Amino acid sequence: MAKRSAPQEEGTLIKRARSSEPEANKQQLAISSSNDERQKALVRSVKRTSNLEAPIVSLSGAHSAEILSCRFDPTGQNIAACSADRGISLWRTYPPNTNYGLLSTIHKAPVLDLQWSLFSPLLYSVSADHTLAYTDLTTGQRIRKLRAHREIINSLDRTLAGGAGVELLASASDDGTVRVWEGGDEAGKDPVAVFELGCPVTCVAWSADGATIYAGALDNVIHVLDLRKQEEVSVLSGHVDTPTGLAISPNGSHLLSPSFSSQTIIHDIRPFAPSPNRVHRVLSGAPAGFENTLLRGAWSQEDGGRRVAVGGADRTVTIWDVESSKILYKLPGHRGTVTAVDFHPKEPIILTASKDGTMLLGEIEPGAL
């Protein structure tokens, strides 16, 4: 009686890591021995940390010019990006990563920044055509267009006003002003407040409680504006060149600001800071380049803000550990200056956008809470 051999579905030779190595670092090398030429390759299985289709996902084809800003929505399920080609693209974060929307008639000039509404299906965007637009994402139609400034609008941020449940927007422009607007589909056409800074304003961010606005300007300082008093109350110094972007930490205690000097500063914005100049960390490693691009940074969300990221003119994204100031990652992949970054609100995923007109989604190691 012949001995029955075991069925062979796929001839594969597997080299396993030594059993003495820690379980967390265990990986497999699989060498395919099938007859299919395409499968004759060395395959390395990598520990996955997110629900993305692959450790790195490229989002391309929607824009014909540089992407200037990109952001996850509050749920992390969708992505919006705006470009110098005057278009706004909408993407799914998870497979099949479809580009389900391309809004090309919202603005008549490059779209410089955008924000998802915090509680309604609206997208806010600002442009070099001096306008602020409200777009209804359920229909893809612009429902409001405000001639918000006299010059190019560089930056936009939104917040929920404390207790009132009203969404407020802050826009920063080359006309030297920061203006506050009411969000939502029933907002008025006049600004809630206007702050005159006297020089072009490059970036803007709300404090966590929605009572204070931080605005970076060409005078190399970050102006602290009190919405209730409607006046400037102080400045944050430390930069030797113009701040290019602002981002508040998830707990609202620190402010990240890259600059044209290739130096990224984290300011302590708590009411009582231990340092008199409020400089918490000075980070280097992300070159700003000579193109004077407004590079935007971001805080990690899933670990409570233990890491920060800024793109650079060296076509990489630099991720630092905040407490040690050490560079954790230098992520390549783009063919142009990395203009904007954002972290997923729930998973260790980083989104990057570049002058090459593409975006990349990448997994990183989860941070310890």
- What pLDDT, on the 0 to 100 scale, is given for residue 27? 42
Q: Using the predicted structure, report yes or no on whether residue 23 has a pLDDT greater than 80.
A: no
Q: Using the predicted structure, report yes or no on whether residue 299 has a pLDDT greater than 90.
A: yes
Using a 10 angstrom Cβ sphere, with 0-12 exposed, 13-18 middle and 19 or more buried, the burial of residue 303 is: middle
- What pLDDT, on the 0 to 100 scale, is given for residue 165? 78
pLDDT band at 31 (very low <50, low <70, confident <90, very high): very low
Task: Single out the residue of 296, 305, 325, 297 nearest to residue 249, CA to CA.
Answer: 305
- The amino acid occupying position 291 is E
**Which of 34-43, 147-156, 164-173, 326-335 is predicted with the least confidence, judged by mean pLDDT?**
34-43
Task: Check: CB of residue 99 under 8 Å from CB of residue 90.
Answer: yes
Q: Using the predicted structure, report yes or no on whether residue 198 has a pLDDT greater than 60.
A: yes
- What pLDDT, on the 0 to 100 scale, is given for residue 45? 66
- What pLDDT, on the 0 to 100 scale, is given for residue 274? 87
Task: Check: CB of residue 310 under 8 Å from CB of residue 284.
Answer: no
Percent of the chain as helix, strand, coil, to the nearest 5: 0, 45, 55
Q: Using the predicted structure, report yes or no on whether residue 162 has a pLDDT greater than 70.
A: no
Q: pLDDT averaged over the chain?
A: 89
**Which of 37-41, 210-214, 230-234, 262-266 is predicted with the least confidence, judged by mean pLDDT?**
37-41
Cis, peptide link before residue 276, omega less than 30° from 0: no
Q: What is the mean pLDDT of residues 2-11?
A: 51
- What pLDDT, on the 0 to 100 scale, is given for residue 275? 86
pLDDT band at 43 (very low <50, low <70, confident <90, very high): low
The structure tokens listed for 189 are 């056409």
pLDDT digits (tens, 9 = 90+) for 80-130: 999 999 999 999 999 999 999 999 999 999 999 999 999 899 999 999 999
**Which of 22-36, 126-140, 184-198, 299-313 is predicted with the least confidence, judged by mean pLDDT?**
22-36
Q: What is the mean pLDDT of residues 175-202?
A: 94
pLDDT band at 367 (very low <50, low <70, confident <90, very high): confident
- What pLDDT, on the 0 to 100 scale, is given for residue 337? 97
pLDDT digits (tens, 9 = 90+) for 203-257: 999 999 999 999 999 999 999 999 999 999 999 999 999 999 999 999 999 999 9
Query: Alpha-carbon distance 142 to 159, whole Å?
Result: 21
- What pLDDT, on the 0 to 100 scale, is given for residue 186? 83
